[in-house]
Amino acid sequence: MSWYAHVILIRWNQPRPPQQVVDEFQWPIVDSGNVVGFEDATSSMDTIGFPIGASGDWTIICDPTFRFVRPDRGKGLWIPKIAAALRKVSAGGALVFGVLLEGSTDTHGFAVCSGGKLTRFWLRQQERVVTNRGTPLAAERGLFADELQGDAERAVLRLMEEVCLPMERLDEVEFHVFHVPPPPEPTIDDLIAQLDGPDWRQAANAAWHLSRERIQPERVIPGLMKLLKCDDADARSIVAACFGDYGAQAENAVPALIVALSDEGRGFFQEKKASFPVRFRAAFSLVRIDPTRPEVIPVLREAIHYRKLDYARSEAFGMIRLLGPRAAELTPDLLKLAAGKDRHGRVRAQVALHLIDSTYEVTDDVAKNTLSLLAEYGLEPGPVPVSPSNAVGEKAT
């Protein structure tokens, strides 16, 4: 079985525990508390993070997801920041030996740093040596004499055992898995500040978290109104839906939402269709804030015929439930759907027609059951009130 591994071995003047090595490199990683063996430490399928172990004077750093690797014929095996750090420790007397084994692309190689410099770099790919820099090590003799026909992976592993540690000792090492700690949970003030930040996607995500808890509408809603004008259609779409979570508390945003009903599709593709989610979600919020607004009707008409986004059709019929008789202008469209071939469209249209006009005779059994459930749970046409006890949340989730 081919290997898929990147390992850095460092021989110090004296033993150093993993945490001391992390401090030496000033890496922003912490010990996760997980301890694994060498096989798991080199496997991207089993380990997430940076397993680091020690054996005598040697430190073994495993990089199972190849985050430190960027082979460059002129510059070496590692990404610049890691390469600089390894050259620095080698200038202090350490010997650095790096191994790259990637069987799926037939890429195998090694690199050596000593005296503050990259002194050896050898890399073979697709049965061809692409880099052969520096003076060969004494231990290389015989290992790569027939590399074009031989087993480069086996040769690199044998060289690692000759220069550094035999596989038996590596198998005895306990590796402490270090990882990048998750960022601290943002505070409410952090989230509100993000609404005015340069990253529209981050701002939209902050808006979503704040609105779910209906947090501080007097501070959040002005930020949402400003973000609704940004040039990212996806961000505008998310933000447009957030106003509705505040219900009547977002009444001062109604003019901005009415403008959003005519969103012109500013976005990556500059297409009109890209604006539909913005317009639809603006209508969704308007209905939740004030179900008497007639401006939402054209968008609802568009939504109930919009087959490409089934969630929009489904939510549009839910909005009709809130509007009740105020959605009577949609009756011709709903009658057409009720007589159409689309099974789901027929059921939804019959339910909507009955909610608009209770004298409408429903013939579909599924539609009848749906209306019975709505009546049972008291979900009759009308606004959904915002509970005063939930008007202002205490934390963001």
DSSP string, 128-146: EEEEEEEPPPGGGTTTSTT
Task: Examine the domain organization and report whether 160 and 290 are in the same domain.
Answer: no
Asked if 248 and 287 touch (Cβ cutoff 8 Å), the reply is no
Q: Where on the phi/psi map is residue 127: left (φ > 0), alpha (ψ -120 to 50), or beta?
A: left
- Residue 229 and residue 266 share a domain: yes
The domain boundary residue, chosen from 150, 179, 208: 179
The whole-number pLDDT of residue 146 equals 55
53 DSSP assignment: E
The DSSP bridge partners found for residue 112 are: 97, 120
| Residues 352, 287 within the same domain | yes
Q: At what angle do helices 276-289 and 233-242 cross, to 10 degrees?
A: 10
Note down the domain range covering 223: 188-390
Which H or E element spans position 173? none
Q: What pLDDT shows up at residue 216?
A: 93
Q: Quick check: 304 and 334 in contact, CB under 8 A?
A: yes
Residues 148 and 196 in one domain: no
Residues 211 and 343 grouped into a single domain: yes
Residue 395 in any domain: the answer is no
Q: Which of these three, 155, 179, 203, is where a domain ends?
A: 179
The last residue of a domain, from among 120, 149, 179? 179
Q: In CATH, what number is assigned to the domain containing residue 244?
A: 1.25.10.10
Q: Which pLDDT score is estimated for 382?
A: 42
- 82-114 b/e (C-beta count within 10 Å ≥ 16 → b): bbebbbebbeeebbbbbbbbbeeeebbbbbbbb
Residues 211 and 353 in one domain: yes
Q: What is the rounded CA–CA span in Å between residue 89 and residue 98?
A: 14
Q: Is residue 111 part of a domain?
A: yes
Joined tokens for residue 120: 């050896």
Residue 174 and residue 192 in one domain: no
Q: What is the mean pLDDT of each run of 10 residues along the chain (397 residues)?
A: 85 93 92 91 76 96 89 82 94 95 87 95 88 90 62 89 94 93 87 88 90 91 90 87 92 91 59 70 90 86 76 79 86 87 83 87 85 73 37 34
**pLDDT given for residue 196 in this prediction:** 87
Q: pTM of the entire structure?
A: 0.54
Q: Which residues contact 176 (CB under 8 A, 6 or more apart)?
A: 18, 19, 31, 32, 34, 35, 51, 52, 53
Q: Is residue 295 part of a domain?
A: yes
193 and 319 share one domain: yes
CA-based end-to-end distance of the chain: 45
pLDDT of residue 395: 36
Domain count, the chain: 2
- Residues 162, 248 within the same domain: no
Q: Does 396 fall in a domain?
A: no
d(Cα 278, Cα 289) in Å, to the nearest integer? 16
pLDDT at 78: 92
DSSP single-letter state for residue 340: S
The Cα–Cα gap between 112 and 121 comes to: 7
